Amino acid sequence: MSLGRALGVAGHRPGEALIRSIRIRLGVPCNAGDTLMFTGRVVGHDGGDMEVAVSAAGRLGEHVTGTVALTLPGGAS
């Protein structure tokens, strides 16, 4: 599974979104067998360019937070 797919940023158009950058910051540890809940929300949009705030939380709290910049093909929104 790709990081983009795991973070859900290309989920509505699988394989079509071009991920321009991923900026993440690690938080609390995550152990083998822990379940992570990934979330994302669009925080910026200009034509086909988007910025998505992402996070993944486990039983100890926020494991990773950050932003993903991506472009949808053809400038579609």
Return the closest-CA partner of residue 53 out of 68, 63, 74, 38: 68
**For 33-38, which contacts have Cβ atoms below 8 Å and span 24 or more sequence positions?**
34/58, 34/59, 34/60, 35/59, 36/63, 38/6, 38/7, 38/8
Would the pTM count as exceeding 0.85? no
- Stretch 49-65: mean pLDDT: 94
pLDDT digits (tens, 9 = 90+) for 1-51: 455 555 555 555 556 778 899 999 999 999 999 999 999 888 998 988 999
**What is the pLDDT, as a whole number, of residue 1?**
46
- Stretch 54-68: mean pLDDT: 95
**What is the pLDDT, as a whole number, of residue 73?**
78
13 pairs with which residues across the strands? none
